[in-house]
Structure 1
Amino acid sequence: MNWRKIAAIVAGVALIALVVFKLKNNKEIAVNKVYQYESEKPIRIDADKLQYGYINGDLGFTGTFEPYKESKISAEQSGKINRILVDVGTAVKKGQTLVQLDNSLLNLQLQSIMVQIEGVEKDVNRYTVLSQADAIQGVQLEKAELGLKSAQVQKATLTEQISKTTVKAPFDGIITAKLNEEGAFAAPGIPLLQITDISQLKFTINVSENDLKHFNPKQSYAITSDAFPDVSLEGKELMVGSKANMGSSFPIQFLVRNTPDLRIKSGMFGKAILNLEQNKKGILIPGTAIIGSSSQPQVYLVKDGKAMLQNITISERIGNKALVSSGLNEGDVLVTSGFINLFDGANVSIKK
């Protein structure tokens, strides 16, 4: 056999052996890197020992403050902006002039129609005298009177147009946005300013269907601001949503009167404090500890070092907690976190 062929065969065998070795080595590395779950190894969890207690009626529902009234102001009449008399942060009163548009051409037209009215009024007076003396036909007087009425309508139209070149505040509030500048062209529908009224605020919370029963129409509730917890506010219920939102909760809105110095701002967070006016004795567990379905809620209990599934009955949900009426006893150890890889009968160890 040719020595070159022998060398090629030997090289090929060596290459195959090298590839096999490399693949085997890579497999061992991959196996070592892959997490090997050990079903007998205890799973680390957090747990609490359950006990009966009195549940007071104070509940807090987080919400957001919004302005009671807010509007973008635009002109009803087209024209060049001559003056903007306010700036962002300016407090304004209802009826206060905010923007003045150019009305010089309209004023000239009004002067022209006033001259016309003056002449037609003289014609009417003269024709009235002549008509009474049968010196002219009555139709001439009628035409003069119709001409006067037409001129008066034109005067009223121009006066209304001129009044609309002055943009006024629709309600008391604070200018929160300046959306145009002097010298620009204003037209109906183009916002010039934004005015916000925070003397009163809307406060909106979202509650679960189980908590809806705690709220009554037109009733007042205590509202607090996260930024100013010492400020006591009162909110009167305005609206309860008739349709659940994306989070399967229902919006409830309150009307809140702001402090005299308008300390509470739009966009701040707060809480609606609900007093159930009753104390209940029972076992209250965190909602995060509950698994299973809504029709059959379950929890994990720790018994003899193992996690055991337990069916429970929930009598009431209060905020993010649940009041359990059956399935749990005082002294039971409840798993509160560490549910990853947890299963019925798993060995567990409680974190210290």
Structure 2
Amino acid sequence: MNLRLIMLLGAVLLVFVAVFGLQKLQSEGLNDFLDNMPIPAVSVSVAEVEPMNWANYLAAVGSARAVNGTQLTTQSAGLVTEIRFNSGDQVKKGQILLLLDDDTDRSELQALVAAAELARADHERISRLFDQGSVSKADLDRAKAQADQTRGQLASQQSRVSLKTVRAPFDGTLGIRLVNVGEYLAPGTAVVSVQQLDPIYVDFNLPEQQLSQVHLGQTIEAGFDAWPDQQFEGTVTAIEPAIDRGTRNFRVQATLRNGDQRIRPGMFSRVALDLGSADDVLAVPQTAISYNPYGNAVFVVVEKEEGEGLIVKRRFVRTGRTVGDFVAVVEGLSAGERVATSGLLRLSNDSAVEISDELPLEPSLAPTPNNS
């Protein structure tokens, strides 16, 4: 019995040893296969480093502003008796736009006209009598003071009557009417806005470091989201003499012709200030740049040294300004080299790559995306 038990235990032990040995061999073989398994090539799109000639300009964002623009308000209280304009009208300087009830004021004006005329006549009569020696100098002075006082009261009342009429302060375009006939208006009530739209200003800010590059008469191009396919040209007409202490920026004013009134006050604008020269640069699409805290890099596509196929080499570069979909590379690349422009997140140094058959998006110096 003891011999049979020992033989059975030995057989079981051999089976366990055989099973564990087989599993170990399979695990080692699988690990060896995975360690030596070739990594599939990453499909990427590529672009060549291109030499380009870029116009030299300063970019900024600005806002359109009317040369003259204001909200017309009443200076006197009264009931609206007549409105002589429609919303959106073109008006001339001095044109009457609105009348307030002025019957009471005109009645007082007539009384003061009569009083002023009487005081003037009295002064002339006393003056003749003084020349004849019939009245004293004090009588003449009182008559003159009375005439001056009534003339002042008359002028003051004429001014109050004129405040009952709202006139256009300059040539321009009216906005939307805010009052109605029969409405009682308090002093300072808004009536309508008026804007002089041609020409029009575009104001923008630049850093103080660029002050030496800006001067009067420089050409600018301004783009507006309302007219994405059009650039508006203007000239620099004023430069703020002081630098803002908070932002260290200075303000520049450009004047643009706006005969068709496409540009409206308050519009956001992208401004390019022409510096009058051009730069030769090496440029790549912006999608080729891998932006990292420790430096910007690209993946240069090269052929394998040991055989057919392509790999990428990570190379750190120094970038310059951007124009459209391109970025200038100041240092790190040569003209004609190829860089990966897609799939950058799957790449590392010496990764095998293959060029994708799909047509890549063509970068542009002046992209016009369709946001509809």
* TM-score, normalised with respect to structure 1: 0.68
Change (3 A) 1:202 1:286: farther
2:123 is the counterpart of 1:124:
yes
**Pairing 1:257–2:262 present:** no
**Sequence identity (%):** 22
Mapping of 1:246-325 within 5 angstroms? 253-259=253-259, 261-266=260-265, 267=267, 272=272, 274=274, 277-278=277-278, 280=280, 282-287=281-286, 289-293=289-293, 297-301=295-299, 309-314=314-319, 316-320=320-324, 321-325=326-330
1:99-248 counterparts in 2 under 5 A?
A: 99-203=98-202, 216-222=215-221, 233-238=232-237, 242=243
Q: Distance in 2 between matches of 1:175 and 1:276?
A: 39
Q: Which of 321, 324, 334 in structure 1 is aligned with 2:339?
A: 334
Q: Is the deviation greater in 326-335 or in 71-80?
A: 326-335
- Alignment match, 1:54: 52
CA shift for structure 1 position 312: 1.2
For residues 207 and 41 of structure 2, the distance between their equivalents in structure 1, rounded to whole angstroms, comes to 33
* Alignment RMSD: 4.3
What is aligned with 2:3? none
* Residue 46 (structure 1) shift: 5.5
Task: State the distance in 2 between where 1:144 and 1:250 align.
Answer: 61
Q: Which runs of 5+ in 1 are unaligned?
A: 1-39
Aligned residues: 307
Question: In the aligned structure 2, how far is the partner of 1:335 from the partner of 1:244?
Answer: 44
> Which amino acid in 2 is paired with 1:120?
A
Deviation at 1:63, TM superposition (A): 6.4
- What amino acid is the match of 2:80? I
Q: Return closer, same or farther for 1:243/1:43 CA change in 2, 3 Å cut-off.
A: farther
2:201 aligned counterpart, secondary structure: strand
Q: How far does residue 105 in structure 1 lie from its aligned partner after superposition?
A: 1.4
* Distance (Å, rounded) in 2 between the aligned partners of 1:283 and 1:186: 66
Higher deviation after alignment, 119-128 or 217-226: 217-226
CA drift at 1:195: 0.7
Taking a change above 3 Å as real, the CA distance of residues 89 and 338 of structure 1, as seen in their structure-2 partners, is: farther
Deviations 1:53-89 (A, max 9, x none): 2324287968665433321111222222222211111
CA contact (8 A) 2:93 2:171 kept: yes
Q: 1:136 to 1:330 in 2, by over 3 A?
A: closer
TM-score scaled by structure 2? Answer: 0.65
User: Contact (CA 8 Å) 2:46, 2:355: kept in 1 or not?
Assistant: no
Q: State the 1:103 CA deviation.
A: 1.7
Q: Which runs of 5+ in 2 are unaligned?
A: 1-37, 305-309, 359-372
CA distance in 2, matches of 1:160, 1:206: 43
